Amino acid sequence: MKRFLAAGYIPQPKQLQFHAAARAADDIDGANEIGFGGARGGAKTHGTFAQVALDDCQRIPGLKVLFLRKVSKSANEAIEDLRSSVLFQTPHVFREQKSTIVFPNKSRIIIGHFQHEKDIDNYLGLEYDIIVIEEATQLSQSKIEKIKTCNRSSKKGFRPRRYYTTNPGGIGHAWFKAKFILPFRKGKDTEKENKTKFIPSTVKDNKKVNKEYVDVLNSLTGWLRDAWRDGDWDVFAGQFFETFNYDDHVIKPNELPILQTDINIWCALDYGFKHYTTCYLLCEYDGVIYVVDEFMARKQLISANAIGILQMLESNGVSLDMLSNFVAGADVFAKKGDSGESFADEFSRCGIELRCANTSRKAGAGKILQLLGDKKQGIEPSLKISSRCTGLIECLPSMMHNPNDPEDVLKVDTDDQGRGGDDPYDGFRYGVMVNNSLGITI
């Protein structure tokens, strides 16, 4: 704070939280990946630049910072604005040709730019004590992981760290949400485990923004208004299940109904090896479908999957004979090789008897939309998902419209590292297509 005040910079409350998180990164147990913002107009760029320029670079001589920004026509003008608003009382030299800000103690900020993902490769192989990535969701997870390899430090008593600012949407929406937003929602312990910290900030947290800009954000409609004004990470352009809302549809495990024989309980399975095997335990109570628990595993034999599924049921006090149905995708029943056996036969030997699910993609998507309801239209949801179902909670809002068939969800495969994919959605879709009162697939 002494440095900030001496420089004429007075942080707003959310900026102050970010600065505290940046200092906590000095501790061996502190988060060294810090996300800031989540909506437009939240003063995230101003705060992040002030952190590296007025605190980090001033207290650590010779610090080297990479400040990555998305290329725009006004990129140089934006840097001039930051310098004039943040560094007007701080001695420094701006080397325009090298896009570098140098301080008397030899610390420096290199202003990097990217227009396309391949531009990130220009910075690989170099070493930076701090990396700041603006508009982080404009980069894929693979590019973020590559640039992270450059974040190392030999400065005594200083831990390398990364600061991210962004808004919902873009190619990196899913990885940023998984890395920062979901741990933030779960609480401090989870953030600590993940070595991440997220400081949410919207235009409401920026008392210095002009009223006209607030009016512009208020005039937006649809997903843009929810994402850019309110920082809603459950919506983005092209999203299929726009009515999914974490606060409306996700509940804590202690809010689930007690699983007993007088309510309908069933399971749904989507099998994979390279892709994930997903299995969901569902029940219906008082007209609401509850997704009680989730099993997810990859590159496991069917026998191992069966053990995991049975353990998941047991942890919820459910036995196989309590299930009214256990459905799976049609591919599980296809005969394979000379043996004439199917994957369903293998599951059967493990004690799990499967029935073929209704795999109609459009009907399943429509059923999910119906269950989600629409609070904006006064339609209450008839679906609740336990917070234990982390795969489904991450996957469902990331599903996109198929551009060739807008009534269907776009098929997405898991990559070689097991990231992404629609396997949780498929397993869940099979589950909701079971007629709850009769225990049969529809």
Domains (range + CATH), the chain: 2-229 (3.40.50.300), 247-441 (3.30.420.280)
Listed in sequence order, the residues at least 6 apart from 268 whose beta carbon sits closer than 8 Å to its beta carbon are 279, 280, 282, 326, 327, 328, 357, 427, 428, 430, 431, 434
pTM over 0.75: no
Residue 441's pLDDT is 52
Of 145-149, 295-299, 366-370, least confident by mean pLDDT is: 145-149
Residue 437's pLDDT is 41
Between the two ends of the chain, the Cα-to-Cα distance in Å is: 63
pLDDT in tens, 282-315: 999 999 999 999 999 999 999 999 999 999 999 9
Residue 312's pLDDT is 97
The answer to whether the CB of 389 falls within 8 A of the CB of 345 is no
Pairing of β 108-114 and β 100-102:
antiparallel
pLDDT at 190 over 80: no
Residue 237's pLDDT is 66
Is residue 174 very low, low, confident or very high in pLDDT (cuts 50, 70, 90)? Answer: confident
Q: Give me the amino acid identity at 339.
A: S
**What value does the mean pLDDT take over residues 245-268?**
91
pLDDT at 317 over 80: yes
pLDDT at 278 over 80: yes
Q: Residue 46 phi/psi, 5° resolution?
A: -60, -45
pLDDT in tens, 81-94: 889 999 999 999 99
Q: Give me the amino acid identity at 428.
A: F
How far apart CA 47 and CA 45 sit, in angstroms, is 5
Query: Burial level of 407, CB count in 10 A (0-12/13-18/19+)?
Result: exposed
How far, in whole angstroms, is CA 393 from its chain's centroid?
A: 10
> How many other C-beta atoms can be found within 10 angstroms of the C-beta atom of residue 332?
20
Is residue 157 very low, low, confident or very high in pLDDT (cuts 50, 70, 90)? Answer: confident
What letter does residue 170 receive in the DSSP assignment?
S
**What value does the mean pLDDT take over residues 209-221?**
86
How far apart CA 239 and CA 301 sit, in angstroms, is 34
Residue 224's pLDDT is 74
pLDDT in tens, 8-34: 999 999 999 999 999 999 998 899 999
The answer to whether the CB of 357 falls within 8 A of the CB of 266 is no
**What value does the mean pLDDT take over residues 253-267?**
91
Residue 72's pLDDT is 55
Whether the CA torsion 178, 180, 186, 191 is positive or negative: it is positive
Residue 74's pLDDT is 54
How far apart CA 312 and CA 326 sit, in angstroms, is 14
How far apart CA 113 and CA 116 sit, in angstroms, is 9
Of 65-69, 140-144, 196-200, 390-394, least confident by mean pLDDT is: 140-144
- Please state, in angstroms and as integers, the Cα–Cα distance from residue 163 to each residue in 17, 35, 193, 313, 408, following that order: 13, 6, 18, 41, 37
The answer to whether the CB of 30 falls within 8 A of the CB of 196 is no
Residue 76's pLDDT is 64
pLDDT at 339 over 80: no
Average pLDDT, the chain: 89
Listed in sequence order, the residues at least 6 apart from 41 whose beta carbon sits closer than 8 Å to its beta carbon are 202, 203, 206, 209, 213, 214, 217
**What value does the mean pLDDT take over residues 99-103?**
94
How far apart CA 58 and CA 102 sit, in angstroms, is 11
Q: Residue 193 phi/psi, 5° resolution?
A: -65, -35
Is residue 186 very low, low, confident or very high in pLDDT (cuts 50, 70, 90)? Answer: confident
37 in the Ramachandran plot: left (φ > 0), alpha (ψ -120 to 50) or beta? left
How far, in whole angstroms, is CA 268 from its chain's centroid?
A: 25
pLDDT at 436 over 70: no
**What are the beta bridge partners of residue 100?**
95, 110
Which ranges constitute the DSSP H helices of 343-410?
A: 343-349, 361-372, 390-395
More confident position, 255 or 441: 255
The answer to whether the CB of 411 falls within 8 A of the CB of 402 is yes
Residue 38's pLDDT is 84
